[in-house]
Amino acid sequence: MSDFVLITGGARSGKSRFAELLAAHPGLPVIYIATAQVYDEEMALRVKKHQDQRPSHWDLVEEPLALSSVLERHAQDKAVLLVDCVTLWLTNLLLANYPAEDDLPEQEYTRALHRIEQEILEQVRTIAHIAQDITPQVIMVTNEVGDGIVPDNPLSRVYRDLAGRANQILGQGAQQVYSVVAGYPTEIKATGQALLDSLRREDS
């Protein structure tokens, strides 16, 4: 069974750097699974920064959509699989499937977005199960995108909600969940689970 770790935090919180340190710690081969797609110069610079900060001897797999296939392909490897990041993967899936708003009446558009969200969450459940069951340690980096203001359009609101729900699914499946703030990680699952368990006992 894999040691599945989820690392979350805000933009530029230090979560990727912590994930890379954690991945290197066991001394096993590391397979870096990049989900980013480069569409403009800004994203190209972000990708270059990540490339420069991680060890050059790590294997690299670039996969924007078929994350479950990559995990399954390396299911027996004695290695660490580092996925960076989940929220870019969700973005790719959403943009690959969402309908153009002008093509549908408002109610149908909203229903279509809801259907797509459910289909993507099913893929999230799949990768959570795979990450629990395979041989390598799996480390996934994600983002907390729902801490700001409510987005002003339906697609952005669906993405915000999708990311939050996906993080909950992955957090439930992970053995450890870290939150990184200002460069410092805190393990949050053990204490959070203990609190939830105590509240449920009191309520029963």
Pairing of strands 184-187, 176-181: antiparallel
14 is annotated as contributing to ligand binding: yes
Q: Does the annotation mark 50 as catalytic?
A: yes
164 is annotated as contributing to ligand binding: no
34 is annotated as contributing to ligand binding: yes
Q: Where are the alpha helices (DSSP H) in the chain?
A: 15-24, 41-53, 67-73, 86-97, 106-133, 154-173, 189-203
Q: Choosing from 25, 50, 57, 114, which is the catalytic residue?
A: 50
Q: What CA–CA distance (Å, rounded) separates 77 from 80?
A: 8
10 is annotated as contributing to ligand binding: yes
35 is annotated as contributing to ligand binding: yes
Residues 6+ apart with CB under 8 A from 178: 5, 6, 7, 8, 15, 18, 185, 186, 187, 188
36 is annotated as contributing to ligand binding: yes
75 is annotated as contributing to ligand binding: no
> What tokens appear for 180 in the block?
């990184």
State the binding site for GTP.
9-16, 34-36, 62, 84
Which residues have a catalytic role annotated? 50
State the binding site.
9-16, 34-36, 62, 84
